[in-house]
Structure 1
Amino acid sequence: MLQLMLHSHPRIAVPPETRFLVPAYFRRRIYGDLRSASARTALAQWIATDRNSKFRELKIDKDDFVRQATEGPGSLGSVIGTAFRMYADRFGKVRWGDKRPSYVKQVDMLLRLFPDAQFVHLIRDGRDCVASLKEMPWYTLNSFHAVSTWAEAIDAGRKLRRTMAKDNYYELRYEELTDDPSTELKKLCEFLEEDFDPAMVSPREAAEIAVPVHKVWHSNTHGDVTRSRVGSWANRLEDWEIALCEQALGERLKSHGYELSGGDRAAKEHMLAWQKTMQKRRASRMRKQMRDRINRLREPAPVAALLTSGQRALAGIPQQRAEAPVTERV
């Protein structure tokens, strides 16, 4: 819903989830020095053709993308950013974004790629999030993982709120957004330094263009903004799942203004299973972070995007005299 609201803005394009940004980052060593045109070509071809990539949903020409990425600046962020810039060009827009829930835990990586990025974190009642995850046809994990996913996102958001500048990180609640879209979107546009556009309040028109037909789980985006799903966890979760959510996530829920039902405590075996799940996920995440730290010590090529005047300025690259002003931001 928020993706479509932003995509409805006349200056902003936000595509469906592409799923190639993070894999491209962790595969970067395979392609060597991206200051070489042949390396950029190889990376761009992988992005455009890998079977796990959702590049096709951008509906931009594959060969044109490979050409522009090859001719563009020699950095990982530039190759990736070229795909999103071309998507924005489809709609005559100057800014682009990308949406994926897991990005809240990958901000450090994203800032390496796009140092001028702004981050918008949409927070929803954790119980509703668990209920929704369980119903997704692509979600294959159990309820313990679903509860852990929300806990990790909230913890990551807390850290970002403490450490990031106010003009780089912004939080809003799903419940308030659906209750008063105009007010919340005006505040969001102020953060983005954009003028509010009334079209953002009615994103169903954008859904016809920006939501792939096969994503039937996003069917609600084709109608008016609704609060029908707010608090629906009470009818969608089993009693033991509600008890687990409220005991495991209680402090996090209350800190964001969500009231607890006051029901029974979770069974001891359920709490132990959740804690074990959290420990395994934390260990896996730390191993991945450690591998990335090691890889950063022997970085094969520049990482940060160099597609805009702002990005080049952050990289310390002098502006060209004849360059027209560029206003894109991530």
Structure 2
Amino acid sequence: MVHAHPRFAIPPETRFVLDAYQRRREFGDLRVAANRHRLAAWIVRTERHRFADLGLDPDRTAAAIAAAPPTLGSAIGTVFRCYAERFGKPRWGDKRPGYYQHVDVITRLFPGAQFVHVVRDGRDCVGSLKHQPWYRPDSYAAIATWAEAVDYGDAAADRLGPGSYHRLRFESLIEHPERELAALCAFLGEEYDPAMCEPAAVARVVLPARKTWHDRTLGPVDPAAQGTWRARLDPWEIELCETVLAGRLRANGYEVSGGRRASPSRLARYAATASARRLAHRKRRMTDTVRRLGEPSPAEVPAPPH
């Protein structure tokens, strides 16, 4: 929908933004030309980064990265700027659900970034994840992921403020796309364009054919994409979702069916899963804090075009 706007380019999901940040020390001082060239080659040549999905010439893109200002944010931003130029558009964005855990990293790389948080009924999210060919964790992890995303989103909203954070309810978007997209454009400082309500017109251009799980984008916006959890979740999954997510669901406008409470054994397993994930997140943050000692502060890193 956003890519259909004449001023925005939104690529398919890539895998190099967070990877580059976590491995930034390996590339050394980016004021050294050789280090920038090495970083550029790593971005465009590493298969897991899915650079090929962007439809860009790797050599030209690598040259543009090497010629960019000597900051990691500028190097990464150059890739997306090249993608936007492919479509003749002045602004770019990026989407990846896992970014909710790394808002601090994104704001460090791109101090002027604006965040759009799409919130969907947690039960539908769990039902969708468990049927995706690429999803390996179990339903306990899927439920914990949605709880985290909502909690992290709430924290980001408080920290970033209304000028940098916009929450968009998925169900409202598919029921009233014009209204919700107009509000989104206002947040982004752009005029709404009716083409945004016709995402199918650009879906085949921007989405790799292998991503069959995005087939809904090839048709009209369909309000029937909500409430599918009733058919996709097992009874115990519904019980667990509504037991552990009830407060978050209601806070985001979703009614709880009022069924049975999840069993103690299911609750104990969920608690262990959620606790392990929280511990992993804390370890990641502590590691990053240590690594950042002596590095330039965000204020010392120039913001690249976005």
Structure-2 change in CA distance of 1:18 and 1:304 (3 Å)? farther
> Does residue 290 of structure 1 match 2:247?
no
Task: Verify the 8 A CA contact 2:111 2:298 in the aligned structure 1.
Answer: no
Query: Number of aligned pairs?
Result: 306
CA shift digits 1:29-65 (9 cap, x unpaired) = 0001011111111111011111211111111111111
The one-letter amino acid paired with 1:70 is: A
Contact 1:40 1:74 in 2 (8 A): yes
Structure 2 unmatched runs, 5+: none
Q: Trace 1:148-297 onto structure 2 (pairs within 5 A).
A: 148-297=144-293
CA–CA distance in structure 1, aligned partners of residues 298 and 285 of structure 2: 19
Asked if 2 retains the 8 angstrom alpha-carbon contact of 1:113 and 1:303, the reply is: no
Q: Give 2:51's aligned residue.
A: 55
SS at match of 2:48: coil
Instruction: Give me the whole-angstrom Cα distance separating, in 1, the residues matched to 2:287 and 2:4.
Output: 39
Q: Is the 8 A contact 1:29 1:299 kept in 2?
A: no
Q: In 1, Cα distance between the equivalents of 2:300 and 2:157?
A: 23
Give SS of 1:178's match: helix
Q: Distance in 2 between matches of 1:47 and 1:195?
A: 33
**Offset, 1:76:** 0.4
The correspondence for 1:139, drawn from 135, 141, 155, is 135
Alpha-carbon shift at residue 301 of structure 1 (Å): 10
Give the aligned partner of residue 3 of structure 2.
Answer: 7
Q: How many Å separate the matches in 2 of 1:265 and 1:54?
A: 42
Alignment-derived partner of residue 38 in structure 1: 34
- Post-superposition CA distance 1:82-115 (Å, at most 9, x none): 1000000000000000001111221100000000
Q: Does 2:109 correspond to 1:116?
A: no
How far did residue 299 of structure 1 move?
Answer: 2.8
- Give the 3-state SS of the residue equivalent to 1:172 in structure 2: strand
TM-score (norm 2): 0.97
RCO greater where, 1 or 2, for CA within 8 Å and sep 6 or more?
1
CA offset at residue 305 of structure 1?
6.4
Secondary structure of 1:280 counterpart: helix
C-alpha contact 1:75 1:304 (8 A) present in aligned 2: no
CA distance in 2 between partners of 1:147 and 1:22 (Å): 23
In structure 2, distance between residues paired with 1:96 and 1:207: 16
Aligned partners of 2:108 and 2:298 also within 8 Å: no
Q: Deviations over 1:243-297 (max 9, x none)?
A: 0000010000000110001111101111110110011001111111111101100
Indicate whether 1:91 and 2:109 are aligned: no
Selected match of 2:72 from 69, 72, 76: 76
Matches of 1:25 and 1:303, distance apart in 2: 17
Structure 1 unaligned spans of 5+: 313-327
Identity %, equivalent residues? 47
Q: For 1:115 and 1:229, how far apart are their aligned partners in 2?
A: 35
Partner Cα separation in structure 2 for residue 299 and residue 115 of structure 1: 16
1:66 is displaced (CA, Å) by: 1.2
Moved >3 Å (runs of 4+): 300-306
Q: What CA distance in whole angstroms lies between the structure 1 residues aligned with 2:301 and 2:53?
A: 22
What is aligned with 1:321? Answer: none
- Amino acid paired to 1:111: T
2:64 partner amino acid: Q
Q: For residues 268 and 73 of structure 1, do their structure 2 counterparts lie closer, same or farther at Cα, with a shift above 3 Å needed?
A: same
What TM-score do the two structures reach when normalised by structure 1?
Answer: 0.90
Trace 1:279-318 onto structure 2 (pairs within 5 A).
279-299=275-295, 306=302, 311=303
How big is the shift at 1:199?
0.2
- 1:323 counterpart residue number: none
Per the TM alignment, residue 161 of structure 1 is displaced from its structure 2 partner at its CA by 1.7
| TM-fit CA distance, 1:298 | 3.5
SS at match of 2:168: strand
CA RMSD after TM alignment: 1.5
